[in-house]
Structure 1
Amino acid sequence: MNQWLRNNDKVAMVLAIIRIYLGYTWLTAGIGKVTGGFDTSGFLQGAIGNAQGAHPAVQPWWATFLETVALPNHELFTFLVMWGEVLVGIALILGLFTNFAALAGIMMNFAFLLSGTTSTNPQMVILTIFLIVAGANAGKYGLDRWVMPYLKQQTPMRKVFHHPKHV
């Protein structure tokens, strides 16, 4: 299954559709935040409040992180969420640094889930797992097809890791 996901051209086409769908979802959410006066402080306070009771929606350890790190720095987190969503969206749509963008996206999805927000996050996590497992095949029909080989060729460390006999 893993080889099929990583090497099959038809799978690469399906992954491109999934990638573009996820990118569009991230991009539209991010643009809505950038243009709509988004601020994380209310969301963070609500998540912290959901850490109470016998069966809290937010685990106490996560609420502690939100209360001690995120809330005091809510301006930074507002910036990171807004522009993170926009940049992940653009990268996924273009198929540029696909694996990194998918990883950044899934990290945001899990942060939202840990904060008690379900919405589309579970389905986005499931779809993103396919992109991550597929590796380079997820960006095969995108800019990664040209950018990644170029970057590999330009990397100075390439000479360190490639023995002269094998070059």
Structure 2
Amino acid sequence: MFLELLRTNRYVAGFLAIIRIYLGYHWITSGWGKITGGFDASGYLQGAVAKAGGDHPAVQGWWAAFLENVAIPGANVFSFLVMWGEFLVGIALILGIFTNFAALMGIVMNFAFVFSGTVSSNPQMILLTAFLLAAGFNAGRFGLDRFVIPFIRRVIEKRRGQMKQVTAEIH
């Protein structure tokens, strides 16, 4: 019942738009700060690996192994992905375009930060983003998704019809 309300109610869509814009603002300002500030993730990644030791590690060993063996050697790529990922997720959430994909990418980044031992605002953002993801299309109803998603659906249906026609002609 709650999920149906979340996915279909217009008033809930308005509330979700507020959440979406709030999250988008946080992502876009964080990303822009990194883009204009010469962000380098190397120090952050090394600090996360250091948090994997001791009596009460804040970072799980499997995640620290990933950071050591993949992220730190590719720190330039990860720096690029984080700063531009944050910025683009913010733009998409504010505009309400590809909302579900943007929310999914945002929650993936939030979990990566939490796994790396950074709590900050990440749990709050994870919780709010979970509502956007559960709401599906309704999260972007008062945004550009209102126009973009139906257009994409029409294009896909048109292509399916063309493929069925080609398949029928072959047989």
Report the TM-score, using the length of structure 2 for normalisation: 0.92
What does residue 64 of structure 2 align with?
Answer: 63
Q: Given residue 99 of structure 1, which amino acid in structure 2 is its aligned partner?
A: N
Where 1:129 maps in the other structure, the secondary structure is helix
Where 1:137 maps in the other structure, the secondary structure is helix
**Whole-Å separation in 2 of the counterparts to 1:105 and 1:37:** 21
Indicate the larger mover: 20-29 or 149-158: 149-158
Higher gyration radius (CA) = 2
What fraction of aligned residue pairs are identical, expressed as a percent?
A: 63
**Whole-Å separation in 1 of the counterparts to 2:49 and 2:160:** 46
1:83 aligns with 2:84: yes
**Whole-Å separation in 1 of the counterparts to 2:124 and 2:48:** 21
List structure 1 runs of 4+ shifted beyond 4 angstroms. Answer: none
Structure 1 residues 129-153: Cα deviation after superposition (integer angstroms, max 9, x where no partner)? 0000000000000000000000111
Structure 1's unaligned 5+ residue stretches are: 162-167
Indicate conservation of the 8 Å contact 1:23/1:91, yes or no: yes
CA RMSD, aligned part only? 1.1
Structure 2's unaligned 5+ residue stretches are: 165-171
**Whole-Å separation in 2 of the counterparts to 1:59 and 1:157:** 46
**Whole-Å separation in 1 of the counterparts to 2:127 and 2:159:** 34
What does residue 144 of structure 1 align with?
Answer: 145
Q: Given residue 131 of structure 1, which amino acid in structure 2 is its aligned partner?
A: L
Indicate the larger mover: 152-161 or 94-103: 152-161
What does residue 158 of structure 1 align with?
Answer: 160
What does residue 8 of structure 1 align with?
Answer: 9
Q: Given residue 118 of structure 1, which amino acid in structure 2 is its aligned partner?
A: V
Structure 1 residues 55-76: Cα deviation after superposition (integer angstroms, max 9, x where no partner)? 2000000000000000000000
What does residue 136 of structure 2 align with?
Answer: 135
**Whole-Å separation in 2 of the counterparts to 1:158 and 1:144:** 22
| CA displacement at 1:54 relative to structure 2 | 2.1
Indicate conservation of the 8 Å contact 1:7/1:137, yes or no: yes
1:103 aligns with 2:104: yes
Report the TM-score, using the length of structure 1 for normalisation: 0.94
Q: Given residue 46 of structure 2, which amino acid in structure 1 is its aligned partner?
A: Q
Indicate conservation of the 8 Å contact 1:23/1:88, yes or no: yes
Indicate conservation of the 8 Å contact 1:152/1:158, yes or no: no
What does residue 168 of structure 2 align with?
Answer: none
| CA displacement at 1:37 relative to structure 2 | 1.1
Where 1:39 maps in the other structure, the secondary structure is coil
Alignment of 1:110-121 (within 5 A): 110-121=111-122
